[in-house]
Structure 1
Amino acid sequence: MDFLKPEKIKDASGRRPSDPDYDCRSLYVPKDFLLDQTPGHKQWWDLKAKHFDCVLFFKVGKFYELYHMDAVTGVKELNLTFMRGSYAHCGFPEIAYGRFSAQLVDKGYKVVRVEQTETPDMMDKRVKKLLKPTKFDRVVKREICQLTTKGTRVYTVADGEAREAQSAYLLAIMEKEIDRTKSSYGVCFVDTSIGVFHIGQFDDDRHSSRLRTLIATFPPVQVLDAITLKNLSVVDNGHGGSVGTLLHRIDNCSSPFGKRLLRHWMCSPSTNVRTIEARQKAVNILRENTTLLSELGTVLAKVPDLERLFARIYAQSSKGLQDSHPDNRAIMFEEKIYSKRKIMEFIAVLDGFASLQRAALLMQELFSLPVFTGCKACDSSEILVQCSHFPTSEPAGSFPDLEKHLHFFKNAFDRDEAEKEGRIIPSAGVDPEYDESIENMKRLDKEMKTYLAKQCQYFQCKVVYVGKDKNRYQLEIPESKANKVTDEYVLVGQRKGFKKYSTPETKSFLERQMAAEDQKLNILADLRKRIFTRFIEKYENWYSAIECMSTLDVLMSLAMYSLSIDGDTCIPVFRDVSSVEQPFVNLVNGKFPCVTNDQSFIPNDTKLGENGQANLLLLTGPNMGGKSTLMRQLGLLVIMAQMGCIIPAESLELTPVDRIFTRIGAQDDILSGESTFYVELCETASILNNASIHSLVLVDELGRGTSTYDGTAIAAAVLNELSRMKCRTIFSTHYHTLVGGIRDNDRVVLGHMSCMVETEDEEGEGKEETVTFLYRLAEGACPKSYGFNAARLAGIPSHIIRTGSAKARHGKNVALCCGNIFTSAFSNFNILIS
């Protein structure tokens, strides 16, 4: 097609791709081309012209068809098969929509679902009303009913179940520049699968540090920015997965909504000591009651994703889609299957909430034990009481008593009939309109029986109603008694020995009965929506139950993690900032939390700011000696502590951390045109501009992306500034000249990752050093970084290592000759910085 060729393609406004205003979402389709199309294909081109960036699933009968470029996508990405014909097209049955749309969306495509919203009979009636119908009028109407992307999934009954528990947010941003160094942002992001919105406004620096985090900042929470989440491998391992991350290690949640809340807690740990301690008490109680923990896990594991199903039921209620939405007009050929799915999901939701009620009752049984009496339950774990006790209980909690509501819906309709037929027949007293229609039909039936009894009495014989459909309620009278009929009896048929008559009364019965049946069918057709609406009316109760149980699920996950730790565990102790001289952290025998039962892992102590001591640790040590691991370990353990988790350590005492900053690892940003060194400096600038005295800062090998002298100077300047800010900091480096420049700074303490070095001769010349890493933090500075040992381990040829070692010794001798001059200059530099 000529208009689709790269040199001819245009958007709907006639603009070429070279035009800065070109709209890639639309397509120019010539009018004369459209006039040559069949009515159905013209519909497709009209829609494609407005949604050129989407793949159209175009309903034709019981199938979704893909045409032209969409067909190529279907064959390439979905393994569909081209059909015979002069143009590319392929398709699949209606029932397979969920599977194929999910595959395309997961690969980054936008999928548009186009439905027939008119039957052929409806089309004929419409065409008859037109004065001069054209061939393009003689086609059933089709409308777009759904546009799905990764950020707009709503998981309708046609879409099927979500495969991932975690949220996928749709983000909207509005930026207003304040000056050259600052902008103001308005943001809104929504999880469409559960209908939860986050909205906010904030000022940001030129690097958009806060915007890049995409984390709802509802204080009081500790803020983990995007860089920290990445550098510490909190929720993502850098390869698109979670294996090896803190989330992967701690996540023992049984429910999808629990998993989402755990991730939120992990990305936004609390800074409220009362909240943290309440969580700690709850986790400790749960880990001491392993039988209960197992029972609760079994109950919650059977619960479906109630948040997402709840949102789906809402959409199917009268409060969901507007009457004008095209999906309400869509002709679905598998409607019975979809209807059955909707009812099965509703039943699953009811069973799920019944399981939540059962979990709450299990927790209440725990607090009924003698060890928990009166206010002791509240003192032991206020948060567990809130999650499991009814508002009317003693002590009172926040979990709503769902028994009455569940009982109503359990008895509202026949479940077996609903599962079998895909429709809801309400029990008496559930739906007033339906009850009234049934009563009307009963009254009519009684009236018809009374009339028939009078006819039997009049003819002195047995008279019965006969006939079907529109011929119902004819009076069948023996031929021998037919001589008693009057003018009001109209003969409508006969068989041997009998004659059939209609009367004004029987005609009235038929009209009224058909009207009553139509009324009943109309009520039943809308009944599922009305039942769902009644369910949604109790929104606060259902959602409160989900919130309570998601919190309990997260606490259970933390308890199960604590039970899996091999070795020392402790409950972190938090001190109020007002009761200490300065913010501090004192970690004793801490272990890296993502390690699973590794007996060979060496625990370490980390002390910063305790009793007015140095708040900054200048960390040196050999390459691969464990410096980065020590820093990540402290960062992750602080996050866990402020989540309320029991951690792998002998002890941890600290004041709350308001924000964790990291400058770990080295990578450039090719797409942004930013070098490794520039990326390092941007991250460092964010730390210096935003860190407070209550922050934790982890800086790893700053300045290595430029010359040694420039890197040393920048590292020294940042080091001095961080010590002046008094935030808790670990600053690792291979610039050993920094050590001499901070000896008079009482806010900085020296430490190194220890190792054992062996050489085969006393001078060490011409011989390779054997370095054994001890992975233990020790006081003082490390004499050098033993880079040639790392080179040997990496497989660098021996002759190259020997040559490099000789050059290093020569450089060291030169440096020693100039040492006094450099040390003097460096000291002056530090004075200048101060």
Structure 2
Amino acid sequence: SAHCSIEKKDHDEMAGSARSKFEWLNSFAIRDANKRRPNDPLYDKSTLFIPPDALRKMSTSQKQYWNIKCKYMDVVLFFKVGKFYELYELDAEIGQKELDWKMTVSGVGKCRQVGISESGIDDAVDKLIARGYKVGRIEQMESANQAKARGVHSVIERKLVHVSTPSTAVDNIGTDAVHLLALKEVTLASSGFQVFGFAFLDYAALKIWVGSVQDDDSSAALGALLMQVSPRELIYETSGISKETQRTIRKYASAGSVKMQLTPLSGIDFSDAAQIRNLIHSKGFFNASTESWLSALDCTMNQDVVICALGGLIGHLTRLMLHDALKNGEVLPYHVYKTCLRMDGQTLVNLEIFINNFNGGSSGTLYKHLNHCVTASGKRMLRRWICHPLKDIDAINKRLDVVEGFIQNCGLGPTTLGYLQKIPDLERLLGQVRSTVGLSSLLQLPFIGEKIIKKRIKTFIMLINGLRNGIDLLNDLQRADHGILALYKIVDIPSLSYLPELIHKFEERMQNEFPCGQVSDVNANGANDLAALMDVFIGKASEWSLVINAVSTIDVLRSFAAMTLSSFGAMCRPQVLLKDDVPVLRMKGLWHPYAFAGNANSLVPNDLTLGQDLSGLNRFALLLTGPNMGGKSTIMRATCLAVVLAQLGCYVPCTSCELTLADSIFTRLGATDRIMTGESTFLVECTETASVLQKATVDSLVLLDELGRGTSTFDGYAIAYAVFRHLVERVRCRQLFATHYHSLTKEFASHPHVSLQHMACMFKPRSDGNGQKELTFLYRLTSGACPESYGLQVAAMAGIPKSIVEKASVAGQVMRAKIAGNFKSSEQRAEFSTLHEEWLRAALAVSAMDGQPDDDDVMDTLFCIQQELKSHFRKAR
């Protein structure tokens, strides 16, 4: 205890001394390079103002450090001193906190410091990056003897050579793609719509994608981009995006499959497209790309906005010293919606495509269900495919042909699996080899240069061996008649006549130089020879990329087959029909593919038709009722997932499935308050529903669940009625519309294009034998409207105490009797809302026609009108 108190006292004295010496680092004094304080909206936390007097008093080595640190305050900077790497002041606090290093006072200017020997630096950097820090290394560019040769008082030259971040990490990052996304927003003067230019980098694969999306108030397209890309970090121009966009980014930052870091940038150009073009040309950026970056731009809309986003990414990468990405990065076009089934951001969330709505994990998601891939590049391709289901019947059937070949040929799957299991992450290995082309300055650094050379050799050997296995797989599939010849109609496979011989030459050369993959000391000549050999190899990068793409495609289609064969419910090949007059969706034995946690006994298949049935009726709208927890949301999601799977070219969870192509899926499943983004339930409902009404076409699939419950009963019913009628009579698209408004079912009971169905339930005797009955959900889709809402029974099942449920039941009966007895038609009729009065008249008329008045709706209506009148009278007083 006494020892601990002495240590704490020493630490406090150390901290106090540092605070007085580096006063400009303290929270009460710190400023950015433009002398702005943290409470300034334009404060740049990445820079630091150091008073000139303080800088003048520093030694040369101190100035080396602080001249760099003042530009990288957001980066933990390791400073190389001899055979050690040291952290100072605020960075030292991080080293002490995160790595449990002991703090001392020494080093550059007798400041607080922690450190590690050069043998442990890589592990320390990896740990800090894994915890979300950006980490840079200031390296010695010469030895001590070389510095002395320049003069007795010369200080060793040091430079910041590289900054690693969570969004640009290469090692220990798993199989999922890690993306850094740059975003540029502009508002179109003509329409008021927002256009977002974007550029995102997968640094491990050395690929950059560029594109743009146009959006409305719903931010659906931006949401789709963020869910598809799932960036680890999003960079944007300070004060360059609107408040609405900031709210959308915050929403999807928590909804994505990875935690997104938001980084506003100051001093980096996002605005001058012409200047950015000139910069790319003058610096020779992207010259090593197999496809010209200009060709990628030609495939995008709003090119100036895209260029601005790319400029922001270039500025950020330049600051991080990631010159290999700028020099050798491959630039590709990216389309959020083009030529694919459109699913916006909210739909990807609602359908639990990548993350579940329970805990934000991957279990219980479509991606998890489909992912039987073995290769890392296959897993990433699967995610890209899920984001972009096909809208081409021929392309869908070609995929299905390959999947069917895997299913019917029982020996093909295991054989293919054997090859795939030997294949490393070829996509990233090729990116790492490409990154070394023409960049050899780091090889001259003491200690670090040797490590880089050894890593290059190991990477190159792994890539060559992996490509050999991939080429062998393609050769085997090509030679044998496995019934999956359609594979060669799906992907471009390079000529296999010369590739095996070519890859053998590279294997032979590396085996001679480095037997059994053993990497010993490599001299300068050996390093140069290796660089020359890798340059020749990269000259064939387009062929290697085709091999990798083909192998990844085989892995994904084999995964579809594996999912089908391991399914515990019926699966079938979907029949994708040419559209005649009307879109159709006919499914028998439909079940949700992963809602039952592998329990086949709980699976309840259902038949569902949207569009023309076999009798000729064209009921493309299904009005769905039933109790909460009765399975409405499950069957709605299952319908959407079956369409997505079919258009992916995968078998679907049905005994039979026929459909015409859907161009988009829109979902409004439940009213979720966005408390953190400052939006109410009703506002969210209106915004998202308006977006559906504006964008849905006759070929869309629309799911709306409990529309209107975010406001009063009358307004909610009016909205639900108007929206449903518009979709049925104007848009005429396939739709499932779940509602608790029973009068809505009466209104559309005889409509020729509407089918009334409900999720069945029944009362069964309780298992405890007390003579009472309990509500049992059957999860079966049944014709007609649900006779009751069963609200009190569901409340009891959900765990509401029995005493409260009983009191609610009694209160409901009393309320009905009171309102029915006391409400008089002469009571201030002039004060009624016209909408409410008309709705009440229509509800009573429908009930009268039906012969069985709907007490639930009528009593609710009367009660709510009474409450509004009371509110009006209170205000009048």
TM-based fold match above 0.5: yes
Question: Equivalent residue for 1:801?
Answer: 805
Structure 1 residues 612-627: aligned runs within 5 Å: 613-627=618-632
Rounded Cα–Cα distance in structure 2 between residues aligned with 1:541 and 1:667: 49
Deviations 1:742-773 (A, max 9, x none): 2343222111000002589xxxxxx9761110
Task: Report whether the alignment pairs 1:281 with 2:392.
Answer: no
Cα offset for 1:175? Answer: 2.0
Question: Equivalent residue for 1:703?
Answer: 708
Rounded Cα–Cα distance in structure 2 between residues aligned with 1:673 and 1:616: 34
Question: Equivalent residue for 2:793?
Answer: 789
Question: Equivalent residue for 2:875?
Answer: none
Structure 1 residues 633-712: aligned runs within 5 Å: 633-712=638-717
Structure 1 residues 249-648: aligned runs within 5 Å: 249-318=369-438, 321=439, 327-331=442-446, 333=447, 335-367=449-481, 381-384=485-488, 391=495, 401-413=498-510, 414-417=512-515, 419-422=517-520, 522-577=524-579, 580-594=580-594, 595-599=596-600, 600-610=602-612, 611=616, 613-648=618-653
Q: Tell me if the contact between 2:589 and 2:654 (Cα under 8 Å) persists in the aligned partners.
A: yes
Cα offset for 1:421? Answer: 4.2
Rounded Cα–Cα distance in structure 2 between residues aligned with 1:814 and 1:576: 59
SS in 2 for 1:171: strand
Rounded Cα–Cα distance in structure 2 between residues aligned with 1:270 and 1:336: 48
Question: Equivalent residue for 1:105?
Answer: 129
Rounded Cα–Cα distance in structure 2 between residues aligned with 1:95 and 1:665: 55
Task: Report the CA distance shift for 1:825/1:194 in structure 2 as closer, same or farther (over 3 A).
Answer: same
Cα offset for 1:83? Answer: 4.0
Rounded Cα–Cα distance in structure 1 between residues aligned with 2:396 and 2:180: 28
Task: Report the CA distance shift for 1:774/1:707 in structure 2 as closer, same or farther (over 3 A).
Answer: same
Rounded Cα–Cα distance in structure 1 between residues aligned with 2:89 and 2:699: 60
Rounded Cα–Cα distance in structure 2 between residues aligned with 1:302 and 1:265: 24
Rounded Cα–Cα distance in structure 2 between residues aligned with 1:400 and 1:42: 60
Rounded Cα–Cα distance in structure 2 between residues aligned with 1:306 and 1:827: 69
Question: Equivalent residue for 1:204?
Answer: 215
Cα offset for 1:27? Answer: 0.7
Task: Report whether the alignment pairs 1:234 with 2:234.
Answer: no
Q: Tell me if the contact between 1:741 and 1:827 (Cα under 8 Å) persists in the aligned partners.
A: no
Task: Report the CA distance shift for 1:355/1:218 in structure 2 as closer, same or farther (over 3 A).
Answer: farther
Rounded Cα–Cα distance in structure 1 between residues aligned with 2:199 and 2:367: 25
SS in 1 for 2:806: helix
Task: Report whether the alignment pairs 1:152 with 2:145.
Answer: no
Moved more, 654-663 or 333-342: 333-342
Task: Report the CA distance shift for 1:24/1:597 in structure 2 as closer, same or farther (over 3 A).
Answer: closer
Cα offset for 1:666? Answer: 3.3
Rounded Cα–Cα distance in structure 1 between residues aligned with 2:781 and 2:670: 20
> In structure 1, which of residues 91, 99, 109 is the aligned counterpart of residue 115 of structure 2?
91
Rounded Cα–Cα distance in structure 1 between residues aligned with 2:726 and 2:53: 71
What is the letter of the counterpart of residue 287 of structure 1? I
Rounded Cα–Cα distance in structure 1 between residues aligned with 2:742 and 2:499: 66
Cα offset for 1:17? Answer: 2.3
Rounded Cα–Cα distance in structure 1 between residues aligned with 2:539 and 2:658: 47
Task: Report whether the alignment pairs 1:224 with 2:335.
Answer: no
Q: Tell me if the contact between 2:136 and 2:160 (Cα under 8 Å) persists in the aligned partners.
A: yes
Cα offset for 1:826? Answer: 5.2
Task: Report the CA distance shift for 1:340/1:329 in structure 2 as closer, same or farther (over 3 A).
Answer: closer
Q: Tell me if the contact between 1:387 and 1:549 (Cα under 8 Å) persists in the aligned partners.
A: no
Moved more, 252-261 or 692-701: 692-701
Question: Equivalent residue for 2:313?
Answer: none
Cα offset for 1:224? Answer: 1.5
Task: Report the CA distance shift for 1:139/1:576 in structure 2 as closer, same or farther (over 3 A).
Answer: same
What is the letter of the counterpart of residue 36 of structure 1? K
> In structure 2, which of residues 130, 138, 143 is the aligned counterpart of residue 119 of structure 1?
143
Moved more, 796-805 or 165-174: 165-174
Structure 1 unpaired stretches of 5+ = 129-134, 373-379, 392-398, 425-520, 761-766, 830-834
SS in 1 for 2:139: strand
Identity of aligned residues (%): 35
Task: Report whether the alignment pairs 1:140 with 2:145.
Answer: no
Q: Tell me if the contact between 1:343 and 1:423 (Cα under 8 Å) persists in the aligned partners.
A: no
Cα offset for 1:195? Answer: 2.2
SS in 1 for 2:786: coil
Rounded Cα–Cα distance in structure 1 between residues aligned with 2:74 and 2:816: 62
Moved more, 234-243 or 20-29: 234-243
Deviations 1:82-121 (A, max 9, x none): 3465643222233444433333333332222222222223
> In structure 2, which of residues 748, 757, 765 is the aligned counterpart of residue 742 of structure 1?
748
Structure 1 residues 744-783: aligned runs within 5 Å: 744-757=750-763, 770-783=774-787
Rounded Cα–Cα distance in structure 1 between residues aligned with 2:701 and 2:818: 38
SS in 1 for 2:619: coil
SS in 1 for 2:763: strand
Question: Equivalent residue for 1:430?
Answer: none
| TM-score between both structures, scaled by the size of structure 2 | 0.74
Q: Tell me if the contact between 1:343 and 1:422 (Cα under 8 Å) persists in the aligned partners.
A: no
Cα offset for 1:655? Answer: 0.5
| TM-score between both structures, scaled by the size of structure 1 | 0.78
Moved more, 797-806 or 413-422: 413-422
Deviations 1:629-653 (A, max 9, x none): 0111111111111111112210111
Rounded Cα–Cα distance in structure 2 between residues aligned with 1:603 and 1:815: 43
SS in 1 for 2:518: helix
Rounded Cα–Cα distance in structure 2 between residues aligned with 1:355 and 1:22: 53
Rounded Cα–Cα distance in structure 1 between residues aligned with 2:686 and 2:378: 38
Rounded Cα–Cα distance in structure 2 between residues aligned with 1:180 and 1:654: 36
Moved more, 807-816 or 291-300: 807-816
What is the letter of the counterpart of residue 473 of structure 2? A
Question: Equivalent residue for 1:171?
Answer: 182
Rounded Cα–Cα distance in structure 1 between residues aligned with 2:534 and 2:818: 83
Report the aligned-residue RMSD: 2.8
Deviations 1:29-66 (A, max 9, x none): 12222333343332222111111111112222333221
SS in 2 for 1:47: helix
Task: Report the CA distance shift for 1:575/1:823 in structure 2 as closer, same or farther (over 3 A).
Answer: farther
Q: Which entry has the higher C-alpha Rg, 1 or 2?
A: 1
Rounded Cα–Cα distance in structure 1 between residues aligned with 2:524 and 2:452: 19
Rounded Cα–Cα distance in structure 2 between residues aligned with 1:24 and 1:795: 50
What is the letter of the counterpart of residue 350 of structure 2? N
Deviations 1:194-248 (A, max 9, x none): 1222222343212322122114336321112111111111111243431111111
Cα offset for 1:161? Answer: 4.4
Q: Tell me if the contact between 2:137 and 2:161 (Cα under 8 Å) persists in the aligned partners.
A: yes
Task: Report the CA distance shift for 1:218/1:807 in structure 2 as closer, same or farther (over 3 A).
Answer: closer
Cα offset for 1:688? Answer: 1.3
Cα offset for 1:296? Answer: 1.4
Structure 2 unpaired stretches of 5+ = 1-21, 229-334, 824-835, 847-877
Task: Report the CA distance shift for 1:729/1:809 in structure 2 as closer, same or farther (over 3 A).
Answer: farther
SS in 2 for 1:639: helix
Task: Report whether the alignment pairs 1:48 with 2:69.
Answer: yes
Q: Tell me if the contact between 1:582 and 1:612 (Cα under 8 Å) persists in the aligned partners.
A: no
SS in 2 for 1:634: helix
Rounded Cα–Cα distance in structure 1 between residues aligned with 2:788 and 2:565: 41
How many residues are aligned here? 690
Rounded Cα–Cα distance in structure 2 between residues aligned with 1:534 and 1:78: 43
Question: Equivalent residue for 1:24?
Answer: 45
Q: Tell me if the contact between 2:398 and 2:489 (Cα under 8 Å) persists in the aligned partners.
A: no
Rounded Cα–Cα distance in structure 2 between residues aligned with 1:361 and 1:418: 25
Q: Tell me if the contact between 2:621 and 2:734 (Cα under 8 Å) persists in the aligned partners.
A: yes
Cα offset for 1:145? Answer: 1.6
Q: Tell me if the contact between 1:59 and 1:116 (Cα under 8 Å) persists in the aligned partners.
A: yes
